Structure 1
Amino acid sequence: MSKALLRHLYHYRRWYLLLLSAFVLALVPSHQPSSQGRHLDDIRSRDFIAVFTRNTPTTYYEGRHGPTGFEYELIRRFASHLGVSLSMDASRNISGVLDAVRSGEGDLGAAALPLDPTLPGLYFSRPILELQPMVVYRRGLPPLREPADLMGRNVGAIQGSGAGLILRELQAELPELSWKETPDLEVADLLQRVENGTLDAAVLYAHQFKLNRLFFPGVENGFELGEPLSMAWALPSGQGLGLLEEANRFLDGLRLEGVLDDLVQRYFGHDDYLEYVGARIFIDHIHEKLPNYTDLFRRAARDTGFDWKLLAAVGYQESHWNPQATSPTGVRGLMMLTNATAGEMDIGDRLDPAQSIDGGARYLRQIMDRLPEDIDDVDRQWMALAAYNVGLGHLYDAQKIAEMRGGDPHVWADVREALPLLQNREWFSQVRHGYARGGEPVIYVRNIRRYYEILDYVDRSQQQFFQLNQRQPDADDDSLFNTVPPAI
């Protein structure tokens, strides 16, 4: 067989398989005999669906308000669609998820799984999300801009994630290519090893890097590798097609209603706000400055009922955790209190970090308590932060403008749209407190939300999202990886 034909077969193998899979599914009648729906009937009779997933920022994790993640949001809706409760197991790696589904221990696998109809014992749902493989590499190395640049580099990938499929296709063109795979690490672990020098580069997906890149400023974006794969749910074969058909109907409905696009945007469509305000500086300050004030933020949080990480995010937005900070307008200290606010909070020394953090936290609590009780807790928090920046009177004005425009004055999204209008005479002339630089509190709240998001990940250092203290590679780190040798 010629080398050119071999490359052709490797490159198009996935598309042949996907087309074959779609053709086979198309032949399945829409109304199956009862035996074909026995799996779905069993789920409904026991009143729960058992789902296996992975504990990662892109799939499922415990957030501030409970379970969250893109896959979790989909699965939660699917369970509700079926009218059953949800049982989730996030303790497995990719191969463990597939094994659990294949064996019948799990009803469904939702773990950022690449659609691969060649895997035995499994069906796959409709594609849910496009997975674009990409190469990332350690800052300081010569730039990796094309596949040939991977030659001689120590490249890592997660086994079963689909990266191996792409690399094997590439190996048909570059037979000397070699890489390492492991089933026992997640994306954050892989990126950490690139940053600390255990690996030179890694192959993962673009949306995974987008969510994690701010936590690993020593890792650079390289290049997209190959054609996109498709993310899908895995279901056991041999138990009928009822659950598969119901899953496909559900996903088709989400897509037609725009819900799927909304979820993709919510989880993976963030703008890189922190690049503008100094993401890498912020990460450095978490290590270098924050430990000096963590206990003070925690104490103030206990006294006021806030999450300490939210208070720390406010402190960073205000002063970059500089207790000596002073603005041209005379606000001072770590939480940048005015003289009037310091007096109201009975703060004698604004430059004392303990007093500043305590006074800022109590002032923020006072603002929150003055907002109407029927505002949702999360919306109330963002509105209070906006008022901390622009003043409570201007926030009330923005609420009034939101209502005048047909919005809800108790919903942050509507008030956020109204705040910049305080800069326009057409609008500020109609409210009590007049002109305000209303765009600033919008940016202020946006930045704090992003700072808080990173701090929240850091605080959960026992999980695999991010390690607060950099560590040296383990002596037996190589034992985690299986080396895929060159093809020649």
Structure 2
Amino acid sequence: MQRITYRAKASARGAKRRISYILRPSKRLLNTESNIVPAIVSIKVTRFAKTKKLAQISSIALLSLPAESLTTMNTQVPAYDHVMLEETLTIAAVPGDSTYFATDGFQHGFGYDLARNYADELGVKVTLKAYADEEAALRALQSGDADMALTTASTQLKSQLNLSSINVSCGYDASLTKNGLHPKVSWTFNSANDPLSQKASYFLCDSIKLDNTQKLAAFYNQDLLKDAYSQDHFKATLTEKLPDYQSSFEEQARNYNHDWELLVAMGYQESHLDANAVSPTGVRGIMMLTNNTAKAMGVSDRVDPYQSIGGGARYLEQMKTDFADVPKTDRIWFALAAYNMGPNAVKGIQRKLSAKGIDDKSWANIYAYLSDNKASNSRYGQAMHYVSNIRSYLETIKTATV
């Protein structure tokens, strides 16, 4: 490839023209297959010349690129620069109980939630690419198809591929294992020297963030159905009782835009799918509706399975609407917490977090607040277990592991 050099220009206009030229491949390069440089060609450059963003992005690129990038187009753009230019963090991940789980049109999971929080701190979006195994995900990272990988791959495999990784627990593996999570779930990068990797290390190992990571691990606890009694009870209930109500769950889920298996998980949490269940406080039926909630949802007979499921589905949809400003990935957890303790209680927590400058639309932050204050308010502890249990039941139903 012909070596291209540039004359240094002192003016801002010259600097803009120079960085635009660096980022835009020439027609000759685009037409010569052997000379294409994927890391440069893949960057989508829009009309920066007349925007304020040009100055910001140009400064980032000029300061971050190695000096030789100004004289050759063979140097790979650092992952951090690519992420900031594209405003997207692309993650190669392997599905698992410690990484991410997808259902009901949204993605969640311990490792994935941490990665979303990191992307939020960078001010970028997240794109997740799923791979069947650890090596495939790491090779996607190595080839430039992703900016980072979320896996539980062995240290040996990552070393063989010459990749750098950070354990998301920052060395506090016991906080993961006690919650049934994989102790070596990690974020992997092409280089330890890339700012994307360095900033990730600071993010994960910050004392406050580390404390919240441990609380998030508790929410994603995988041990709920690990003992034989719980497994047998759950399996027996789904086998013996669910067939009688499945059509009602499916129909009411369609009526109110839910995943029907989410409603089943709620029904198991509420009553173990017992249509005649009654609590000491007077809530009744499969979805354990209060008398007031039943009336508000148009339910005349709380022990009628179809009506009870419909009332619960309608109320859950109302809770989702109440938290429509929360990103979809977290919205269902907000809605479930509100279903359990009331929407005003959740909104009150949001106001307290917002007053402290904390993101009040992140479930991780809401859960951390519940955890920190459960000793002084029993409702907080109940809401924590309620949402976490339903998440666990849903994942178990989806993966048919019981």
With the shorter chain as reference, the TM-score category is: 0.5 to 0.7
Which of 265, 282, 307 pairs up with 2:234?
282
Pair 1:107–1:302, CA change in 2 (3 A): closer
Identify the range of structure 1 (60-69 vs 41-50) with the bigger mean alpha-carbon deviation.
41-50
Alignment of 1:335 with 2:287, yes or no, is yes
Decide which of 245, 254, 266 is 1:293's aligned counterpart. Answer: 245
Provide the C-alpha distance between the structure 2 equivalents of 1:101 and 1:263, rounded to a whole number of angstroms.
Answer: 27
Match of 1:457 among 381, 395, 401: 395
Deviations 1:51-109 (A, max 9, x none): 53312232234355734444445555666788877654322412333444555665544
Question: Kindly, what percent of the aligned residue pairs are identical?
Answer: 25
- Say whether 1:264 aligns with 2:213: yes
How many angstroms apart in 1 are the aligned matches of 2:160 and 2:323?
A: 57
Contact 2:114-2:213 at 8 Å conserved across structures: no
Shift of the alpha carbon at 1:396? Answer: 6.8
Indicate which of 128, 131, 134 corresponds to 1:91.
131
- Asked if the contact 1:313/1:448 (under 8 Å) is kept, the reply is no
1:324 aligns with 2:268: no
The secondary structure found in structure 2 opposite 1:264 is helix
User: TM-score, length-normalised on structure 2?
Assistant: 0.57
Equivalent in the alignment of 2:340: 386
* TM-score, with length taken from structure 1: 0.48
Matches within 5 A, 1:4-153: 34=68, 38-41=75-78, 44=81, 47=86, 51-62=91-102, 64=104, 66-73=106-113, 88-102=128-142, 108-116=148-156, 119-129=159-169
Which among 168, 180, 190 is matched to residue 210 of structure 1? 180
Amino acid at match of 1:53: A
Are the aligned partners of 1:115 and 1:127 in contact in 2 as well (CA < 8 Å)? no
**1:334 partner SS:** coil
**Cα shift at 1:131:** 8.0
Supply the distance in 1 between the matched residues of 2:126 and 2:292 (Cα, whole angstroms).
52
Retained in 1: the 8 A contact 2:283–2:291? Answer: yes
Residue 38 of structure 1 aligns to a residue whose secondary structure is coil
259 and 96 in structure 1: CA distance in 2 versus 1, 3 angstrom threshold: farther
Q: Is this contact kept in 1: 2:164–2:188, CA < 8 A?
A: yes
User: 1:233 — aligned with what?
Assistant: 188
Structure (1/2) with the larger strand percentage: 1
C-alpha distance in 1 between matches for 2:89 and 2:129: 11
Asked if 2 retains the 8 angstrom alpha-carbon contact of 1:319 and 1:333, the reply is yes
Deviation of 1:234 (Å): 4.7
Quote the Cα distance in structure 2 between the aligned partners of 1:124 and 1:418: 34
Segments of structure 2 that go 5 or more residues without pairing to the other structure are: 1-63
> 1 or 2, which has the higher helix percentage?
2
How far did residue 417 of structure 1 move?
Answer: 8.3
Change (3 A) 1:299 1:452: same
Whole-Å Cα distance in 1 between the matches of residues 288 and 185 of structure 2? 48
Cα RMSD over matched residues?
5.4
Distance in 2 of aligned mates of 1:132 and 1:442:
26
- Between 1 and 2, higher relative CO (CA 8 Å, sep ≥ 6) is seen in 1
Residue aligning to 1:249 = 198
Counterpart-to-counterpart distance in 1, 2:236 and 2:259: 22
Would the aligned equivalents of 2:93 and 2:130 in 1 still touch at CA under 8 Å?
A: yes
Counterpart residue identity of residue 273, structure 2? W
Gaps of 5+ in 1: 1-29, 135-204, 213-227, 236-240, 424-437, 461-465, 471-488
